[in-house]
Amino acid sequence: QVQLAEFGGGLVQAGGSLRLFCAASGRTFTTNAMGWFRQAPGKEREFVAAIRWSGHNTYYSDSVTGRFTISGDNTKNMVFLQMNGLKPEDTAVYYCAAALGYYSGNYHANEDRYALWGQGTQVTVSS
């Protein structure tokens, strides 16, 4: 059964904004971190943003720093991604993911550490 699901994708013009959100379903679980990844056609899946609940530390890829903001509520296993100043190169399927175990170090951008994944939501930025 799907335990994470993303919503909020769509078509937007360059310079516009979208707000994605991800919510859990099914069995109750705890997460150490939640994050967003994206994959464009013919491209590798890449890290976008993550939040570690301890201290609510946030992390971003260089390509989205200053434009995207991740936030959430760990008690609800919910995470948002505010996307401003969208560019055509942001076009991709965006996936929400949750890291369930405890990991030391900078694991937030390592997709292998995320055990749960949503189905993805399409974001298309027109030029």
Q: DSSP state, 32?
A: S
Give DSSP secondary structure letters for 85-112: S--GGG-EEEEEEEE-S---SS-TT-GG
Read off the pLDDT of residues 73-119 as tens digits, 9 standing for 90 and up: 988 889 999 999 999 999 999 999 999 887 888 899 999 999 999 99
Among residues 10, 111, 115, 126, the alpha carbon closest in space to that of 61 is found at 111
Read off the pLDDT of residues 88-100 as tens digits, 9 standing for 90 and up: 999 999 999 999 8
Q: How far is CA 118 from CA 23, 95, 115, in A?
A: 9, 6, 10
Encoding tokens for residue 85?
A: 């100043």
Give DSSP secondary structure letters for 50-89: EEETGGGEEEE-TTTTTTEEEEEETTTTEEEEEE-S--GG
At 1 the pLDDT is: 61
Amino acid at 85: G
Encoding tokens for residue 12?
A: 């937007």
Read off the pLDDT of residues 7-57 as tens digits, 9 standing for 90 and up: 999 999 999 999 999 998 877 778 899 999 999 999 999 999 999 998 899
